[in-house]
Amino acid sequence: MLAFAGLLVRLYLEGLHDRYRTFFWALAFELGTSVLLFFIPPKSDLYGLTYFAASGFNWALRFLVLRELCLLVFHDHPGIRAAVRIGIVVSSILAMVIPATMLAVNPHRAAKPEFPYLELYFLLEQSMTFFLAVLFAGTIAFVTWFPVSLRRNIVLFCLGFSIRFIGEGGALLTRNLTESETIRNWANTGNMIVGLAVPLLWLGSLGWAGEKPLVSVSELLRPGHAEESLDLLNRVNAFLTRVLPNKQSDK
């Protein structure tokens, strides 16, 4: 909680809370939820209702944060930006539909499960985490491969979220694949470390200075391939701009 509180204060003092508004309020909501749950008895019905309701809202905020960052990453490429916007909407829908469908068609599921809503929640958690991890990792792969000039803060945001959701996804996968409590505890510990390391990374790296210089991750990691990658990027963007409806390609 202290790391999130410090990060919120830093974003506000640096004047970044207006530029990355969705990200700022998503962090504020996550911090507020943690503080609220701290004062509610853990084994009470109120704790469970608050936790599940906050989790659903937090998932929605995470997709909105992803949308905000992607629109910034693809700002100069309207065709790709439109495709990404559509992809985020489709992914958010699939993340909800797939778990519900799995429960509905599962032949081994009990006719009247003891905790149906809890079962649905855990499937939703895994589905949401998977789609968010894939989308953020895909964004990182894009800025790594193509010579897109971005503000350093945007690169750090994308990197942090990718690490966080890949860590959460790895922990969930490990808990599902093993019955060993020792391995599950190690997975949970690793996820907690990642969850703490990412806000600390942001706390130590984000600032107004990261808004001024433009950096290209691709040119740093793949020198000598900029012209070829840029040509491919422009052709893909031009194709998507022609194919997608105008309202999806607006600036």
pLDDT digits (tens, 9 = 90+) for 13-26: 888 888 889 989 99
Alpha carbon 226 to chain centroid, angstroms: 28
The DSSP call for residue 214 is E
pLDDT tens per residue across span 85-99: 888 888 888 888 888
Range of the domain at 26: 2-248
CA 133 to CA 163: how far, in whole Å?
8
Question: Which among 1, 2, 4 is positioned nearest to 199, based on CA atoms?
Answer: 4
Burial class (CB in 10 A: 0-12, 13-18, 19+), 54: middle
pLDDT confidence of residue 28: 92
Average of per-residue pLDDT across 44-67 = 87
Q: How many domains does the chain have?
A: 1
The whole-number pLDDT of residue 248 equals: 46
pLDDT tens-place string over residues 195-224: 888 888 888 888 888 887 677 777 777 676
Q: What is the pLDDT of residue 181?
A: 84
Instruction: Taking residues 128-151, report their average pLDDT.
Output: 82
pLDDT tens digits, 152-180: 888 888 888 888 888 887 887 787 777 78
